[in-house]
Amino acid sequence: MTGNDSDSNTKSDKPPIDQKTALDNTATVTTATVHTESAATATAPTESAWHRWFGSPHAVKPGLLHRAYAIPSILIGLLFTLGPMCVIVAFSFMSRPDMGGGVKFQFATDAYEKLLFRHDFFGNRFFDTRYLEVFGTSLWQALLTTAVCVALAFPIALWMSMKSAKVQQILVLLVTIPFWTNLLVRTYAWMLILNENGPINWAANLLGIGKQQLLYTSFASVIGLIYTFLPFAILPMYSALSGFDFRLVEAAYDLGAHKLTVMRRVILRAAMPGVMSGVALCFIPAFGSYVQPVLLGGGRVLMVGNLIASQFAEARNWPFGAALSTVILAITLLGAFLATVLGGKASRKAGMTL
């Protein structure tokens, strides 16, 4: 007997399965599955009272559930951010009490009138520019600080973005190191650098220039502001340039573009969202700064932040201090809005270009 004959005999020994038997087996399996699912449903825990009242988290859309999780953070942010702002704005429209500090809960616009006018002994009102000059000084120093910070931060951020990933991590760490030290300590360190016996005047004497009055000047105040807010300009620019594809620069060179054209039309356009963020992060806090004008400027440079502090502390004129704070708030909100709009346009323009 051959192998093929044995295989055919073995196959012929198995009884054939007709269609009716196959259908019966399928029905048996289906019935068992239904009974199993019913038993699992019967043994499942009943819905809790929490789910009956507030709904099951699995039945809620993910987007809606995520918004619900954000409600506590939003409430805390509104309470501790928007709440004090509303109090300051309300104080600015109240009267000054006859004695002491605080406010008198009586509607008045005297605080805002004091920004522009003064009254003489006979009650005559005259236009006064004293406080406008303070705002002008603050605006000038904030703009100068912002311009210098952006000019210094852009090449630094560009250089950082061209390094390897490991080197970039080290450089970002070095940029953030000043934040590890208190601002007062860093400002006092600049006082030691800029005083008459500091290293700058020592180098000036060595060169035959002689000692220069650097401390307690507007120059010292601006130096302190630049040092404080320079990292705020570097980090957003680096963030914008870290994902930049530098092969676009090579492509621009291959097409015959000049170096200045490549910088202006390719690199700077890609970094523009970070530049606008850096402008906002430098200008807004520099406009209302307090520590640098007091310590480095020696009180000779009167800025809005110092004026507000004096109104709440020494002059005890809370409504006027609140009015000054409200004006600063309006200016900073306007600056933040413009930075957001211009930054969004720059992002869209850079995206279309790249």
Judged against a pLDDT cut of 80, whether residue 100 lies above it is answered with no
Judged against a pLDDT cut of 50, whether residue 53 lies above it is answered with no
Higher pLDDT: 44 or 84? It is 84
Higher pLDDT: 67 or 2? It is 67
Mean pLDDT of 92-105: 87
Higher pLDDT: 118 or 8? It is 118
What are the pLDDT digits (tens) for 182-202? 999 999 999 999 998 889 989
Most confident of 18-22, 62-66, 126-130, 343-347: 126-130
What are the pLDDT digits (tens) for 141-162? 999 999 999 999 999 999 999 9
Q: What is the pTM of this model?
A: 0.75
Q: In the chain, where are the structural domains located? A: 142-350
For residue 89, how many other CB atoms are within 10 A of its CB? 15
| Cα 116 from Cα 134, distance rounded (Å) | 12
State whether the Cα torsion 202-206-207-210 is positive or negative.
positive
For residue 183, the number of C-alpha atoms closer than 13 Å in the C-beta half-sphere is 13
Q: What is the DSSP string of 83-127?
A: HHHHHHHHHHTEEPPSSSSS-EEEE--HHHHHHHEEE-TTS-EEE
What are the pLDDT digits (tens) for 319-343? 999 999 999 999 888 888 888 887 7
pLDDT of residue 351: 57
Higher pLDDT: 270 or 348? It is 270
Judged against a pLDDT cut of 50, whether residue 116 lies above it is answered with yes
| Cα 82 from Cα 92, distance rounded (Å) | 16
In DSSP terms, 119 is beta-bridged to: 125
State the pLDDT confidence band at 353, using cuts at 50, 70 and 90.
low
| Residue percentage of the chain with pLDDT more than 70 | 79
Judged against a pLDDT cut of 70, whether residue 304 lies above it is answered with yes
- Give the residue from 342, 304, 343, 303 showing the smallest Cα distance to 322: 304
pLDDT of residue 339: 80
pLDDT of residue 23: 43
State the pLDDT confidence band at 94, using cuts at 50, 70 and 90.
very high
pLDDT of residue 259: 87
Judged against a pLDDT cut of 60, whether residue 307 lies above it is answered with yes
State the pLDDT confidence band at 173, using cuts at 50, 70 and 90.
very high
pLDDT of residue 49: 52
| Cα 56 from Cα 71, distance rounded (Å) | 18
Judged against a pLDDT cut of 50, whether residue 209 lies above it is answered with yes
Residue positions counted in the chain: 354
State the pLDDT confidence band at 136, using cuts at 50, 70 and 90.
very high
Q: What mean pLDDT is reported for the chain?
A: 81
pLDDT of residue 15: 47
pLDDT of residue 72: 87
Judged against a pLDDT cut of 80, whether residue 63 lies above it is answered with no
C-alpha 44: how far from chain center:
48
State the pLDDT confidence band at 296, using cuts at 50, 70 and 90.
very high
pLDDT of residue 191: 94
Q: Which fold has domain 142-350?
A: MetI-like fold (1.10.3720)
Q: Are 93 and 107 in contact (CB under 8 A)?
A: yes
Q: For residue 174, give the 3-state DSSP assignment.
A: helix
Tell the burial category of 90 from Cβ atoms under 10 Å away from its Cβ (0-12, 13-18, 19+): middle
